[in-house]
Amino acid sequence: MPQKEKINRLKIVLAEHEIAQKDFADMLGVTPHTISRICNNDTQPSLKLIKQMALILEIDIRDFAFFYAFEKINGSTLCIKVG
């Protein structure tokens, strides 16, 4: 089974801020199931929800995403996670 692509860092961000997923769901007015699915990269939040999350956590929106760089080596393009 292929590994699920990790797009967002919400699980990491919540751990860094020592906030439980259930508590964060309450702060946002969404279900704990929604936050769990986002943390597990089963679904991705809307830009509106990302903005709300950033405001509540007082962080930059960019802190939620993994970033990738693309490098061409020997005619092949490689994707490298950089954040």
Residue 10: what pLDDT? 93
Decide if 21 is inside a domain: yes
Task: Of 4-8, 35-39, 72-76, give the range with the top mean pLDDT.
Answer: 35-39
Residue 77: what pLDDT? 67
Decide if 27 is inside a domain: yes
Confidence class for position 32, pLDDT limits 50, 70, 90: very high
Q: What is the mean pLDDT of residues 55-82?
A: 75
Decide if 68 is inside a domain: yes
Decide if 29 is inside a domain: yes
Give the burial class of 21: count Cβ atoms within 10 A of its Cβ; 0-12 exposed, 13-18 middle, 19 or more buried: middle
Name the percent of the chain lying above pLDDT 90. Answer: 55
Number of separate domains in the chain = 1
Domain limits for position 52: 10-81
Domain CATH for 17: 1.10.260.40
pTM: 0.75
Decide if 63 is inside a domain: yes
Decide if 4 is inside a domain: no
Decide if 5 is inside a domain: no
In angstroms, the CA 25 to CA 50 distance is 13
